[in-house]
Amino acid sequence: FYLLFQGLRQISQRTISTASRRQFENRVPEKQKLFQEDNGIPVHLKGGIMDALLYRVTMGLTVFGTAYVVYELLVASMPKKQK
């Protein structure tokens, strides 16, 4: 049990210490320039292909969900026939 605890402690210390050593490039200015550019593209699509794909999937799910809810409401509003 003690060895397991020691191993977990070493792993956690190692990941924390190595994560703090990494240096990341500051890309905020280039992202600001991209999103503030006046090119007629809506801001939710300026991120590229993945933004457009995510937007279309979300819209598809929304339309499908709305249609399904309307269908279920129609089914629920019709009385069942008695046998």
Please tell me the CATH code under which domain 41-82 is placed: 4.10.91.10
d(CA 18, CA 40): 43
Q: Where are the alpha helices (DSSP H) in 1-83?
A: 2-21, 28-36, 49-77
Q: Which whole number is the average pLDDT over 67-75?
A: 97
Q: Which pLDDT tens digit goes with each residue over 3-42?
A: 767 777 777 666 555 555 568 899 999 999 999 999 999 9
The DSSP output letter for 44 is G
Nearest to 31 by CA among 11, 17, 51, 16: 51
Quickly state the pLDDT bin for 77 (edges 50, 70, 90). Answer: very high
Q: Which pLDDT tens digit goes with each residue over 36-45?
A: 999 999 999 9
Instruction: Give pLDDT, residue 13.
Output: 66
Q: Which whole number is the average pLDDT over 53-58?
A: 97
d(CA 25, CA 31): 12
